[in-house]
Amino acid sequence: MAVPLVNLAPNLTVSKLCLGTMTFGEQNSLPESFRLLGGALEAGINFFDSAEMYPVVQQAETQGRSEEYLGRWIRESKIPRDSVVLATKVTGPSGQMTWIRDGPKCLDARNIADAIDGSLRRLQTDYIDLYQIHWPDRYVPMFGETEYDPTRQFCSIPIEEQLDALGRAVDSGKFVQVAERSTYRPKIVSLQNAYSLLCRTFDSGLAECCHHERISLLAYSPLAMGILSGKYFSPDGGPPDARLNVFRGKYSEGESRYNLSNHIIRAAALEYIKIAEKYILHPVSLAIAFVLSRSLVASVVFGATKSWQLQEVLDGCKVELTPEVIAEINKVHERVPNPCP
């Protein structure tokens, strides 16, 4: 069974699964990355997500490698460019990643234009199919924050300037299918937010907005950084090369949201794993199938460092959850809503 396809925008058809590349160049070598990309394409995945700041954990020495590996795979494997959909992202304001345009103070037109040119060069392509702003220029609670603090607000670049910059890139041919072109500016067609059994915050507000504006969700972290696979609940704490073990103490964004020492997160994850066991499903299949069942989800962005992990996700794409399973999932969610916001 091939991975199903969906129309993300006019003339832009993507697979319901999207292989994220943020491990390429850090946890995955070039040959390993090629094997994962080839396996995904063979299974029917045509959608690949990257970012100029990848791989993670971010550092100057490796910045851009994920895009480079993806571009080299297309070129060296002689993959027809029009058979794959490439998505990448521009880094937002960052006081830490000083190696990316001096740690951009803002996401203005110049930063967007420079980022696009850099990504095109690393990807070895003439155009990007879907271009994304990695995080907003303005202050907004994100990456696990749940409360808005008005004292942290600051002057930010207007979204109109950002859309104008993206529109100029469309007109110059650097984006072919970035968005539906309106009279003046490109139309936003997708939003990439975390969504999983442990994080359904998208449903509270954003879902309504996206529905009315016809914006699809690209759901990332469907396994809650691997927690929902169950691998971290073994007596030894999981494989030593698992992300939360490899980067312990080095990955603040991941550890703040997916804190294994948090008993609420552990308890909720174990309840979902028990549901999978009850219905004779692999925990990964339960997690992936659940996210795919959401009406506004166009594609699920997942990561894999090994071929068998890729296969587990592919298997989840074949599962259709029954109303009984969904009901049990919702009961857990009612008791423990969004422990990984």
Q: Is it the case that residue 297 has pLDDT exceeding 60?
A: yes
Hey, what amino acid is at 105?
K
- Lowest-confidence region among 64-73, 152-161, 254-263: 152-161
- Give the chain's domains with CATH numbers: 5-188 (3.20.20.100)
Reported confidence tier of residue 86, pLDDT bands at 50, 70, 90: very high
Contacts of 160 (CB under 8 A, 6+ apart): 185
Contacts of 127 (CB under 8 A, 6+ apart): 120, 173, 174, 175, 176
Percentage of residues of the chain with pLDDT beyond 90: 75
The confidence score (pLDDT) of residue 179 equals 39
Kind of pairing, strands 190-194 and 216-220? parallel
Q: Is it the case that residue 32 has pLDDT exceeding 50?
A: yes
Q: Where in the sequence numbering do the catalytic residues fall? A: 54
Please tell me the pTM assigned to this model.
0.94
The predicted-structure confidence for 155-178, as pLDDT tens digits, reads as follows 788 888 998 899 899 889 898 644
Q: What is the DSSP string of 216-269?
A: EEEEE-TTTTTGGGTGGGSTT-S-TTSHHHHTTTT-HHHHHHS-TT-HHHHHHH
Q: Is it the case that residue 307 has pLDDT exceeding 70?
A: yes
CA 251 to chain centre: 16
Reported confidence tier of residue 142, pLDDT bands at 50, 70, 90: confident
Is 123 exposed, middle or buried, given 0-12, 13-18 or 19+ CB atoms closer than 10 A?
buried
- Lowest-confidence region among 178-187, 200-209, 261-270, 327-336: 178-187
Among residues 238, 192, 248, the alpha carbon closest in space to that of 215 is found at: 192
Average pLDDT on 174-185 reads 54
The confidence score (pLDDT) of residue 184 equals 53
Reported confidence tier of residue 185, pLDDT bands at 50, 70, 90: low
- Lowest-confidence region among 13-17, 131-135, 254-258: 254-258
The C-alpha atoms of residue 86 and residue 50 are separated, in whole angstroms, by 8
* Residue whose structure tokens are 């962005």: 301
